[in-house]
Chain A
């Protein structure tokens, strides 16, 4: 991690200070830097172009809107996951947290199945109340994870793996394995109404990406979190409250995963005990494909969103081609490997540029 960050940083500072390399003009170097920084977006553009040409019925606004909509849940989940990873930790509990908040939303605000059909006056209050509830539930589990990691110095992988298991168990326990459906119309409209062909829930996901991209890139919090992921000792010596920031990243990951679950309940008009199963691995794949280093300290959220869109595009292409779903898994695995390989190549190119 340190080596990579240093190399990357050196490449950037080298480009800025010296202005010219022995073999390369400033413009050419800038172009290469730009391409490296946005590689995943370029890959996405190529993939979409190829699919549009090769797959019947792919090239239409509805399919592109579907891809954006399908990216909503994994995308939102991946935001929190990416922040924790950039901070040098790991959070395996996001999928189960999403399932829990989806189930709680379903139980409270669905009219059928195990839903209690709670209504509020005025009716629109259901929207902020359920969202707040999802944020709070996710945040509480995030606090638990964070405290165990920060205060007791337990390994984040193990702590969040345990949460992944017990939170999913809690979903089964509170639902009794049953499902809730027929979500309150004041929530469902978020999944049905569209703006510019895209459902409101997908706009919410885009807004989340925009917000946290700003937070990570333009605020001291984001810069400090990235620094901590690169090398926690240096920020600590510089007076940055490392433990507090790490705790906040876990709380954020939990709360954002809570939102992902809330969105999932809206999309499926309820919740089942197995809702969201398998999304953790897609979120991880998106984070890695998006250029976030699993070692921490490196990564940008727009890249993660591009990674999510790339995965959704592939899923959609496979759906339209009628290929057996096993191919999705194979392609996904190959894509993650390719992303890591490309990351390594990027590092080497940057070292050369430096």
Chain B
């Protein structure tokens, strides 16, 4: 019994020492990344990228997945606040619902960095975004070009397949896209949401609409994995690559493959690696509560502009249109070639 007790005590002592000792001696502390879901490739790759870039600058990253549940992410925020990390990186499930949690964290002295999903309703310490509305703008520009090439003018019928209608991400893209298409009265846009971002729902929409509106010129889907199902439906209806133009957004590997196969003409990329690199570059400034200066910054070779907005320092990194001419460039995250070079903190 005595031996057993001493064994248990010894194990406990080891556990306490292990828990109290940082994972690596040079660590500047923990930074938590609250990822909204791991059910799409952008988010999955963002975990790898953010963890890599935070390690580059000496932090110990910890990732928590909210499974697309707002309440779960709120609980995670509350838990993390109690753990007093150096900072929190948040990609919010719901832009507005997380506002009180952000305020609570900052009141507790924990800086909050926003990744990818912009929050403007409350003050944050740093934001790294491509801008979802801007993705809609880029898509609109490319779609105007494609329609002009096909029909001689910016006219025709566009089927817009959104993601889940409860997700502000897709609504922002829609907003950006439609505000740039508004001036083209000869373009008819049919918008339908793929519930829960589920691919077969997108396939069903495309299958129905190709019958109801056989004169559809172009399909714009809000995520590359939906484009795969859209192509499957087109193929099932006897369409060949290029019969119906296809544009997608987010730059996932599947979208790039569809460009290579000729089914898709444009993929509007979210510059995932640059967005994640910026988190690493500015982590010291944020964690140490130092002033962040506005201006132009080079992030993985992309000229990005940092402005001081009412909600805090905001770094906007330009998205890019991927076509068959540039699809193989390694800077696109869809090629899954994360930059090997470590990032350096901003001075």
Which A residues are within 8 Å of any B CB, using their own CB?
56-58, 60, 62-63, 66, 69-70, 73, 112-113, 172, 176-179, 181-182, 188, 191-192, 199, 264, 267-270, 272-278, 315-316, 319-320, 322, 324-326, 328-329
Decide if B44 touches A275 in the complex (CB within 8 Å).
no
What B residues does A199 contact at CB under 8 A? 236
Given A178-B44, A322-B190, A192 contacting B196 (CB threshold 8 A):
no
Decide if A112 touches B257 in the complex (CB within 8 Å).
yes
New A-B pairs, 10, CB < 8 Å, besides A57-B211, A178-B44: A191-B232, A264-B200, A267-B229, A267-B232, A269-B231, A269-B235, A272-B39, A273-B38, A276-B198, A277-B39
In the complex, 17 of the A-B residue pairs with CB atoms within 8 angstroms, ordered by the A residue number, are: A66-B204, A70-B204, A112-B253, A178-B44, A182-B257, A191-B232, A272-B228, A274-B39, A276-B200, A277-B196, A315-B204, A316-B204, A319-B205, A320-B212, A324-B193, A325-B165, A325-B193
Decide if B208 touches A268 in the complex (CB within 8 Å).
no
Q: Which residue of B lies closest to A318 (CB)?
A: B192
The verdict on B225 contacting chain A, using a C-beta distance below 8 Å, is yes
* CA A316 to CA B254, docked complex, whole Å: 27
* CA A269 to CA B228, docked complex, whole Å: 7
Interface SS of chain B? helix
What B residues does A277 contact at CB under 8 A? 39, 196-198
Interface-central residue, B43, B192, B213, by most chain A CB under 10 Å: B192
8 Å CB contact of B257 from A62, A113, A315? A113
* CA A146 to CA B43, docked complex, whole Å: 35
The verdict on B195 contacting chain A, using a C-beta distance below 8 Å, is yes
What B residues does A73 contact at CB under 8 A? 200
8 Å CB contact of B43 from A177, A179, A181, A270? A177
What A residues does B254 contact at CB under 8 A? 112-113, 179, 181, 270
Q: Which residue of A lies closest to B212 (CB)?
A: A57
What A residues does B257 contact at CB under 8 A? 112-113, 181-182
The verdict on B207 contacting chain A, using a C-beta distance below 8 Å, is yes
* CA A270 to CA B200, docked complex, whole Å: 10
* CA A199 to CA B196, docked complex, whole Å: 25
* CA A222 to CA B237, docked complex, whole Å: 39
Given A268-B203, A268-B232, A278-B198, A320 contacting B44 (CB threshold 8 A):
no
How far is the CB of B66 from the nearest CB of chain A, in Å?
13
Decide if B41 touches A177 in the complex (CB within 8 Å).
yes
How far is the CB of A318 from the nearest CB of chain B, in Å?
9
How far is the CB of A171 from the nearest CB of chain B, in Å?
9
Interface 0/1 of B201-235, CB less than 8 Å to A: 10111011101110000000000010011011001
Please name the 5 residue pairs, one residue from A and one from B, whose CB atoms are nearest each other, closest first.
Answer: A177-B44, A57-B212, A274-B39, A269-B232, A62-B211
* CA A56 to CA B68, docked complex, whole Å: 37
* CA A264 to CA B203, docked complex, whole Å: 11
Decide if B38 touches A60 in the complex (CB within 8 Å).
no
B35-77 contacts to A (CB < 8 Å): 38-41, 43-44
